[in-house]
A = this chain, B = another copy of it.
């Protein structure tokens, strides 16, 4: 169980340290990397020795974040000493990868905005109202009177942008937008961030082209789905955004993406306007939220489709 601390206490812990290791979560996104890099820049400006780590590869479209080349992966068998280890944007220990095993730290501090946080670290600053962990770093800099500059502003803006879907998700608050406004005054160009974040691999767009050909409507157009057969499936191709195509078609109430990730095992992602798809996901052993849920079935694509569509048609009737 963590000791929950205030922003000022978290800031003091960092100011008292000489050496700090900052850790982003595995499967890294623009918020974990942007918030970690921003904190790294701020602490270096205070004269701290800073090591940045993430136990994973950095996606191609995030390589533009200032300072990203400074990340290093920790090597098993080595021990990395630090006065403070900070784990950012991670709600549980497994999200930190190998770092809790390999770092010998005086203190461990977790900075996070997920209300599902499992309180795994020694100290926790949690703000579930923050749209992004980057918003927490913005607040921390303000609280501690650490000076922002163009570099930190780019890092923080990238985190805010990522976790709010460019300020369009409902977690966007007036405070988030005022922070973003302040960051623009340091010279951030949002279109530079956007042009980078939207970059996709050639394989993703080629896969999208194949998958869109499977677009099917049922239930008088209230259900629209896409399918990725095991023959087409490629674990190296990011297909997370594909469900937005059926989702945003006029008249569609439920959008589904079926993905047979191994022969006889099919993942199902669902998005709904009004019905509660988390109940359906739960009945198949999955979970999620009312409007966005998913599950995995030990069944091939055709069987999974049949079962899920039957459950949805009942729910829609």
Contact = CB atoms under 8 A, between A and B. Distances in A.
Interface in A246-291: 246, 248-251, 273
A181 B184 contact: no
Given A177-B181, A190-B172, A201-B249, A212 B215 contact: no
A210 B245 CA distance: 14
A213 interface: yes
Contact of A170 (B176, B190, B212): B190
Given A172-B190, A190-B169, A198 B251 contact: no
Contact of A166 (B167, B193, B212): B167
Interface string A130-170: 00000000000000000000000000000001000111111
A76 interface: no
Contacts of A199: 248-250
Contacts of A80: none
A61 B248 CA distance: 10
A249 B205 contact: yes
A39 interface: no
A165 B191 CA distance: 10
A206 interface: yes
Contact of A190 (B61, B168, B209, B250): B168
Nearest to A161: B168
As for how many copies of this chain the complex holds, the number is 2
Contacts of A248: 195, 198-200
B174 A191 contact: no
Contact of A191 (B170, B177, B191, B217): B170
A171 to B, nearest CB: 9
A194 B247 CA distance: 12
A166 B169 contact: no
Contact of A250 (B60, B161, B194): B60
A208 interface: yes
A173 interface: yes
A190 B246 CA distance: 21
Contacts of A180: 167, 177
Contacts of A221: 202
A252 to B, nearest CB: 8
Contact of A167 (B167, B173, B174): B167
17 contacts: A60-B250, A61-B250, A165-B166, A166-B166, A167-B190, A168-B193, A169-B194, A175-B181, A181-B181, A200-B248, A200-B249, A202-B250, A205-B212, A205-B246, A208-B245, A209-B209, A209-B215
